[in-house]
Structure 1
Amino acid sequence: MSDDRTTDGTATAPIVDPARALPHTSRDDYEAAVAQARRAAAAYYAGEQSIDDADYDALYARITASEREHPAWRVADSPTAVVGTPGGDIEHSTPMLSIGNVFNSEGLHDWAAKLDKALGHPATSYSVEPKIDGLAIAARYAEGRLVLIATRGDGHTGEDVTSQARLVAGLPARLSAPVTIEVRGEVYMTDADFAKGCDLRLAHGEPVFANPRSAAAGSLRAQRVYDVPLSFMAYAAHGLPDEHAHSHSASIAYLGTLGVATTAQSSAGLTVCTDIDEVTAAVAALGARRGELGFGIDGVVVKADLTADQAKAGFSTRAPRWGTAYKFPADTRTTKLLRIDVQVGRTGVITPVAVLEPVQVGGVVVTSATLHNFTDLERRDVRAGDTVHVRRAGDVIPEITGAVHEARPVDAEPYSPPVQCPRCGGDIDRGNLRWRCARGRACGEKATLLYYTSRDAMDIEGLGEKILDALLATGHITDAADLYALDVPTLAAMDRLGTVSATNLVGSIAATKARPLSRVLTGLGIRMTGRTLSRRIARHFGTMDAILAATPAEWEQVDGIGSERAAVIIAELAEVAPLIAKLAGHGVNMTEPTGPAVNAAPDSAAGSGLPLRRPDGTPMTVVVTGSVPGLTRNQGNEAVEELGGKSSGSVSAKTDFVVVGDGAGSKATKAADLGLPILDADKFAQLLTAHRTGDHDTATTILHTVARVTQPAA
């Protein structure tokens, strides 16, 4: 295994590029690695996963390096010579070959240079589409009727899975035209269908699936009394009419008209590029959206788009020269679950958390992951000591998707959930999937108060944790509103607080009464909201009265709030309504200075004149990374919205521009990779000042230094 480790023992990402892998030191080690790879492949096609994708890729890379260094070692069943698993009874019309891999933009440019050399000229165009994380199949249609479906198998012959695959979504029983063709593509599970499939398995007394990829492979080849939801996406076809076969993109478009689901129709889409620099940008853009697609991809497939270019470039012994796969870092890894902790949130929600042996997932070292809720934990039968699958797609919080039950230690005990609240010892309300202390917010009064007084919320200077502990212990306060009833004599009588400090603290507390409504909402800690959404809510409704009176339908008009989130927020607001009234009674501000104009409808003139509004009235999406002079991180995001924009915490192809200041990290790098416009933090601070002082000329001049910001988003 080529799993590197840092000096402190933390696991890093395995090496998956064969060019960087070290060969085995002995033939026995090489043959053992081949045997392990074949076992892993067999387990995968049976619906299990003995090692994770990154470790398999690393294993494959080292086998490749060994065969390059010692050609005489190569065995007939090496994974470099055999595609997939042993074949079946169905002979493929043409071999179903695998595709080569690259791992960075340098590798992509090297592949393009080799393609240009094979063609004798630069490729005319390229197609860029998602590499679906599923099981490759070939589906044959005779006069428009589906007659046979076979797995890839060893690339030359595959298994007949026609009966199991007839209900796969996206693979119609009849095409819209009576053509005789063979369609090739991937059978996979969407994220939503993976959850449904796990529930079906449990209902029939079987363990949940390890992950969507192995679930799709196993379900397609298994004979069961129930149907697991599966989907199909085409990436190629043979036998198409000539007028639809002059390019890959045209072939895929024609398949879509026949009723077959294709990569072009998916949320990932298919992009045609004119040069390799455009390809690199398209690959980066798709990688940035990886966690938002609703299904798993492990890379991007790049092909010479024109059929004539493909024919001229030809094939090597194992893969086409005209195509390659840009592999992403694995978003699912396996590691050891050290223990299961329980955390209690400030609103009383009780959650199990997995403490993990450090592992790198998607380029980030992960040491803990969510287990969602206790019902899900029991359903997946995850135990301390297990080898578990850890998933992190895009910017999603790491989660445990399942355990490798075959590798479970014999002494691993089933997890026992808490019978009392771990924080206060009170009863637990188990009425919902997310358990909660029966005392609700009262259980976490200290955590709630700390959050209310924090810099990102009401920012009460001089009120630290020790003073809060003393105030709670003496009964001077029970909630945030009680802070505004404190006086100098009461505080001065406490330990470590004299008259001067007490006077300053009372003044600091009083000053927060003028904070905007968005800060108050943030401080209340409403579930399923945060700083950004609290600002959005405050600017949408304008006043607390309007917020409390809003109907579910009105809540769903707020960007980022759907029906489920609206229901939770409404219930939370009802719960804290007495506290809100108490705060208002102490004179705490309940209005947003900018009012609802910032989130007015695009055709409204209410948002006109704001620098970060497009001509049609829609807000630009802006990411702030690093420090902005004179502003905290939260104030930088608030400034974006004050200027009429939409603040985002993640960089994607839909971002209009990125504000980059001192200390900027990966977001600035991703912005550069995507070719996004960048605005220096100093200029952003000048833009804010110009807007506040009404200096529209300066604001316009600054914005003109940022390309594309005045254009509608794609």
Structure 2
Amino acid sequence: MTTNPAGVLADTAAYAAAVEEAKRAAAAYYAADESVLDDDAYDRLVRGIAAYEEEHPQEVLDASPTGKVAGGAVSGDVPHTVPMLSLDNVFSAEQFVTWTASVERRIGRPVAAWSVEPKLDGLAVAVRYRQGRLDRMITRGDGTAGEDVSHAIGTVLGLPERLAAPVTLEVRGEILMTNEQFEQANAVRTEHGAAPFANPRNGAAGTLRAKDRPYRVEMTFFAYGALALPDSGDLAATLDALPHSEVLEYVAGLGVHTAADTAVAPRTVTSVEEVQAGVEDIAALRASLPFGIDGIVIKADLAADQRDAGSGTRAPRWAIAYKLPAVEKVTRLLGVEWNVGRTGIIAPRAVLEPVEIDGSTVSYATLHNPADITRRDLRLGDHVMVYKAGDIIPRIEAPVAHLRTGEEKPVEFPGVCPQCGSEIDMSEQRWRCTRGRDCRLVASISYAAGRDQLDIEGLGATRVVQLVDAGLVQDFADLFTLERDRLLALERMGETSTDNLLAAIETARTRPLSRVFCALGVRGTGRSMSRRIARHFASMDRIVAADAEVLQQVDGIGKEKAAAVVTELEELAPLIGKLVAAGVNMTEPGATPPPEPGAAQEGGADGREAAGLPLAGMTVVVTGAMTGVLAELSRNQMNELIERAGGKSSSSVSKRTSLLVAGEKAGSKRTKAEELGVRIAAPEEFAELVESCLALDM
């Protein structure tokens, strides 16, 4: 992680202009729940102001955001019993080390322990309970007083109306929208004619303050601290003496959500090096979290260390926010491209004014479907909030509507397929060319031949184009009827390459059902879902015969997806018939067919054959580079192996993880497993555990 350089302000005029811009941005962000600047731009602006003020202390303006909670933009009418301060920021390991040294100089001794926890991207609130009953919710405001938002009680998950004990206290934390809640909120808002929220943070803030809406949307609360109220009795002395980590445990015991309920539970460590490791681990999980974080909070854990370090007017001196690189920026929507996928789906893609996010330049973003463009009211020329995390494809969250100039133009939707000019099926949210897979035949065949499907070595896109142009294949089933003489007649197809290709196709004929089903490219399914379907039904004829109700017995298939899969399989029936006629394997090794209707079934769909398997009932995560007999297996093949051995594969470590298979350079997942007490196995040990299933053809 590198330091974000602060903007340099050249003179008094530049400083005054920067203060005015920061004032406007803070007012929009904290008071109006709008985004004039993204977080990264605002942080750089304030750092530039602070640097100028340090050099020119005699020129500091009263309107400056430095030293003020919420940039001085908001206030409230409900006094806080104890000031509700903001946090100062650091942006690099070097800055963090400097800060810790300053804390230890202030208290005159090393800090005994540090708490490391995610910095949740929501709205800070103080929640007061009296005799165990939820009584009042108050925003941070200016730190001394906040706004009463008690009208939102009942819409926030994680805040029980009654605690597990009849205590009187104040719990402080963040109210946010998870990614799922954000999508649901925008769907509800647009149904009622309101503009979509720009991002989850604005959504939570706007929803929390709103009164008398004709609809309700959910939010979630996570506590980061608690303190006694004047009438808390003996609890005051207890809370004042507890370490921060134990305060959170106490609050969780009362039934309030804390970050311990997530995949990024707070940890307590004793050295700066361990703090940095915790920062790296939480940062690595950022892309997979179901809610936004913009940093990591580090706090002195012991009450004595906090008391001796003290607090300033804006922030405590015993806590700091280690900010992560921005994953959200504002840029302009320049255009929309319409691309056709391998199954004929017509997918819009946003063309953006290039912007740097999370260390890379983003010029494109996903736009789910035409209905999504309409729902978000996106227009060409709009300023849009773009989000990117890890390797996830950037997405547009919403237009920044208050920045519109009136020159924006509607997005034009295609009238015919952009690829082949055929008609478009607009009956569903995702539009599709009426020719379906035939529209992108090369892409469809290339996908089927890919490593995680049929794994036909030597059949790249160039070779597929050659076969299609020669009229030798019209779908991937035709690959299994290719003749040697006809292949030899093609350009650049000598005897060796021809024989190698035919041998690879012959091997592909024996792939397990899960691979064959995945090769079909059924919409709404992928590698993991294909494995689950194949394990459940054991044979293709049972899958094809299943109706929507039966398909819903498979983990992860709901009513809508089941109906879509049935429809898709009906469309694919001729292709499946050709595959059967060509002798392609249509069974899943090691899987047990489901019982006939009315027959007794023990353990559910996943448990009928798992009981005797080595990983029965276990959730397994694989990380690092495999060695030994597992070295040649791809991650997809490892997941196949786990599921054939009766287990469930997962990509992240949590309390529900039964086993972590840790190869070389296992990294943060191993650390997380050690903290949670999850069993860890080396690749060689795991190979011995599942030896009976390794014999099955992968």
Question: Could you state the TM-score of these two structures normalised by the residue count of structure 1?
Answer: 0.80
Contact 1:355 1:367 in 2 (8 A): yes
1:607-637 CA distance string (max 9 Å, x none) = 33xxxx6xx7736421356x98999987464
Q: Which residue of 1 aligns with 2:613?
A: 607
Which residue, 342, 345, 349 being the options, matches 2:341? 345
Does 2:68 correspond to 1:82? yes
Q: Which residue of 2 aligns with 1:191?
A: 179
Which residue, 37, 51, 55 being the options, matches 1:51? 37
The one-letter code sitting in structure 2 at the alignment partner of 1:29 is A
The one-letter code sitting in structure 2 at the alignment partner of 1:53 is D
1:95-116 CA distance string (max 9 Å, x none) = 2211122334444444444434
Distance 1:690 1:30, change over 3 A: same
The equivalences for 1:127-142 within 5 A come to 127-141=115-129
Contact 1:603 1:617 in 2 (8 A): no
The one-letter code sitting in structure 2 at the alignment partner of 1:337 is L
Contact 1:623 1:648 in 2 (8 A): no
Deviation at residue 298 of structure 1 after TM alignment: 1.8
Does 2:350 correspond to 1:354? yes
Q: Which residue of 2 aligns with 1:575?
A: 571
Q: Which residue of 2 aligns with 1:101?
A: 89
Does 2:25 correspond to 1:37? no
Structure 1 stretch 408-417 or stretch 564-573: which is displaced more? Answer: 564-573
Q: Which residue of 2 aligns with 1:586?
A: 582
Deviation at residue 558 of structure 1 after TM alignment: 6.0
Does 2:66 correspond to 1:61? no
Q: Which residue of 1 aligns with 2:473?
A: 477
Deviation at residue 376 of structure 1 after TM alignment: 0.9
1:15-60 CA distance string (max 9 Å, x none) = 54xxx53542212112211111111111112021111111111112
Q: Which residue of 1 aligns with 2:329?
A: 333
The one-letter code sitting in structure 1 at the alignment partner of 2:145 is T
Distance 1:104 1:595, change over 3 A: farther
**C-alpha distance in 2, partners of 1:640/1:57?**
42
Deviation at residue 602 of structure 1 after TM alignment: 11
The equivalences for 1:239-638 within 5 A come to 239=228, 240=232, 241=235, 242-247=237-242, 248-256=244-252, 260-265=256-261, 268-408=264-404, 410-461=406-457, 463=459, 465=461, 468-469=464-465, 471-473=467-469, 475-492=471-488, 506=502, 508-531=504-527, 533-535=529-531, 537-538=533-534, 542-548=538-544, 565-593=561-589, 595=591, 604=610, 606-608=612-614, 618=618, 620-623=620-623, 635=634, 637-638=636-637
Contact 1:244 1:254 in 2 (8 A): no
Structure 1 stretch 649-658 or stretch 265-274: which is displaced more? Answer: 649-658
Deviation at residue 315 of structure 1 after TM alignment: 1.6
The one-letter code sitting in structure 2 at the alignment partner of 1:82 is K
Distance 1:321 1:466, change over 3 A: closer
**C-alpha distance in 2, partners of 1:624/1:562?**
33
**Number of residue pairs the alignment of both structures matches:** 662
**C-alpha distance in 1, partners of 2:246/2:441?**
62
**C-alpha distance in 2, partners of 1:589/1:175?**
58
The equivalences for 1:647-658 within 5 A come to 656-658=660-662
Segments of 5+ residues of structure 1 without an aligned counterpart are 1-12, 661-666, 678-682, 697-714
Contact 2:33 2:205 in 1 (8 A): yes
The one-letter code sitting in structure 2 at the alignment partner of 1:134 is G
- SS of match in other structure, 2:291: coil
Q: Which residue of 1 aligns with 2:146?
A: 158
Distance 1:464 1:121, change over 3 A: closer
Which residue, 225, 244, 250 being the options, matches 1:236? 225
1:459-508 CA distance string (max 9 Å, x none) = 44555545544544564432222233333454455566678876665555
**C-alpha distance in 2, partners of 1:267/1:563?**
29
Contact 2:263 2:654 in 1 (8 A): no
Deviation at residue 318 of structure 1 after TM alignment: 2.6
Q: Which residue of 1 aligns with 2:600?
A: none
Does 2:191 correspond to 1:203? yes
1:511-541 CA distance string (max 9 Å, x none) = 4323343432332222233345545654565
- SS of match in other structure, 1:96: coil
The one-letter code sitting in structure 2 at the alignment partner of 1:286 is I
Contact 2:620 2:650 in 1 (8 A): no
Distance 1:693 1:549, change over 3 A: closer
1:246-298 CA distance string (max 9 Å, x none) = 32334334444555444444564443445444444444443333344433222
- SS of match in other structure, 2:380: coil
The one-letter code sitting in structure 2 at the alignment partner of 1:72 is Q
Q: Which residue of 2 aligns with 1:708?
A: none
Distance 1:675 1:168, change over 3 A: closer
- SS of match in other structure, 1:448: helix
Distance 1:50 1:15, change over 3 A: farther
The one-letter code sitting in structure 2 at the alignment partner of 1:127 is S
The equivalences for 1:690-705 within 5 A come to none
Segments of 5+ residues of structure 2 without an aligned counterpart are 594-604, 676-681
Deviation at residue 122 of structure 1 after TM alignment: 3.6
**C-alpha distance in 2, partners of 1:550/1:457?**
23
- Percentage of identical aligned residues: 44
Contact 1:191 1:212 in 2 (8 A): yes
Deviation at residue 415 of structure 1 after TM alignment: 0.6
Structure 1 stretch 428-437 or stretch 196-205: which is displaced more? Answer: 196-205
Q: Which residue of 1 aligns with 2:601?
A: none
Distance 1:465 1:412, change over 3 A: same
Structure 1 stretch 334-343 or stretch 544-553: which is displaced more? Answer: 544-553
- SS of match in other structure, 2:83: coil
Deviation at residue 329 of structure 1 after TM alignment: 2.1
Distance 1:469 1:144, change over 3 A: closer
**C-alpha distance in 2, partners of 1:265/1:624?**
26
The one-letter code sitting in structure 2 at the alignment partner of 1:656 is L
**C-alpha distance in 1, partners of 2:458/2:164?**
72
Distance 1:672 1:358, change over 3 A: farther
